[in-house]
Amino acid sequence: MSNYKIAVVPGDGIGKEIVPEGLRVIEAVAKKHNFSIETEEFGWGAGYYLEHNMFLPEDGLDTLKKFDAVYFGSVGLPAVDDTLPAKDYTFKVRTNFNQYVNYRPVRTYPGVTRPLRSEAPIDFVIVRENTEGEFVQVGSQYLPDSENGMGIDSSIFTRKGIERVAHYAFKLARTRRSKVTHITKSNTLINSLAYWDRVIGEVAAQYPDVEHQQMYIDNSTAMFVLKPEQFDVVLTTNLFGDILSDLGGAIMGSLGLGGSGNINPEREFPSMFEPIHGSAPDIAGQNIANPYGQIWSAAIMLEHLGEEEAAQSIMAAIDKTTTQGVLTVDLGGDAKTKDVANAVIANL
């Protein structure tokens, strides 16, 4: 019987409410599919920062390395500078563990009213480059208080960084509907994103069986709303992917529906699985947060660990639950966070 060691980092805000529910689903599905999980919880995040002046201890990354995967909620609190959670926790884990793929699927949830007019089924995956691009935080502010003040951030796109995420996207497309749409803005960002296009073009040539389409970011935001059914794999940069995945959540019906994985495809390090939304302090502590994205993230994690059938069971149970109308407030229902997890477990 396989046993998986999972590090659990609920983080802050609604993370503390939805992670335990996701864990209950994982425990139930493990029983059903005959594997076991061993979890250890770490109370890191912005709350930890307020007490210890750091988001995770000095040896936190070394601690995480010993696990097969990290099941994460979200970090951030209104009392903490909101530039810190990304810099001091999320980017730290993603970069140090070479989690260069941010895998963010978007799909139709049965029984959930979505804001789009068209009823055409949506089923695509955003593959967001997760370690470089616009979020490398290389830059400075010069004389910020003076009338000559300025702020500069540089984007960094390396051949190695583009090639590896592009190969991942094209290989993924081969397991799906064989189409990659790569998002760019090389008509104005004539160095960084022109190079992004060039390297992706070179990789695409190695996958002649996969359709390769290039789309500008402005057009793609419109297409997400007007014709999302055209997408299969959307390959995009760190910043564009950040924005497009919130839009992906919105077209599904709520930000609370999106699950994701920060993947290290070579498996040198554990991958980390989290919903696409943040810690939502405005609704924390009320048992009303939507846990579907967190539960979906559990399915993505189990699939990554090789438990495909368990992952499929979770997705089937989610579909049955939304079809039954077990919907949280953000989806127009009145189900509580725990009601959703209870119903998903019953449907397993």
Among the residue ranges 53-61, 169-177, 277-285, 307-315, the one whose residues contact ligand ATP (CB under 6 A)? 277-285
Q: Does 336 bind ligand ATP (CB under 6 A)?
A: no
Instruction: Report the SS3 class of residue 323.
Output: helix
Query: Of 179-238, which residues contact ligand ATP (CB under 6 A)?
Result: none
| Separation of alpha carbons 87 and 169, rounded Å | 26
Sign for the CA dihedral angle at 309, 267, 68, 107 comes to negative
**Residue 256 Cβ, how far from ligand ATP at the closest point, in Å?**
3
> By CB under 6 A, how many residues form the interface with ligand ATP?
14
The binding track of 58-77 with respect to ligand ATP, each residue x by CB under 6 A or -, is ----------------x-x-
Of residues 14 and 343, the one with the C-beta less far from ligand ATP: 14
Of residues 14 and 203, the one with the C-beta less far from ligand ATP: 14
| Separation of alpha carbons 6 and 264, rounded Å | 16
- Which of 95, 93, 109, 105 has the alpha carbon at shortest distance from 244? 105
| DSSP characters over 113-137 | --S-S-----EEEEEEE-SSEEEEE
| DSSP characters over 186-200 | TTT-TTHHHHHHHHH
| Separation of alpha carbons 32 and 313, rounded Å | 9
- Which distant-in-sequence residues (6+ apart) come within 8 Å of 266 by Cβ? 98
From candidates 17, 232, 330, 339, binder to ligand ATP by CB under 6 A:
330
From candidates 22, 47, 73, 256, binder to ligand ATP by CB under 6 A:
256
Of residues 22 and 265, the one with the C-beta less far from ligand ATP: 22
From candidates 11, 241, 270, 278, binder to ligand ATP by CB under 6 A:
278
Q: Does 280 bind ligand ATP (CB under 6 A)?
A: yes
From candidates 255, 318, 326, 343, binder to ligand ATP by CB under 6 A:
255
Query: Of 74-103, which residues contact ligand ATP (CB under 6 A)?
Result: 74, 76
- Which distant-in-sequence residues (6+ apart) come within 8 Å of 175 by Cβ? none
* Binding positions for ligand ATP, rule: CB under 6 A: 14, 74, 76, 255-256, 277-280, 282-283, 289-290, 330
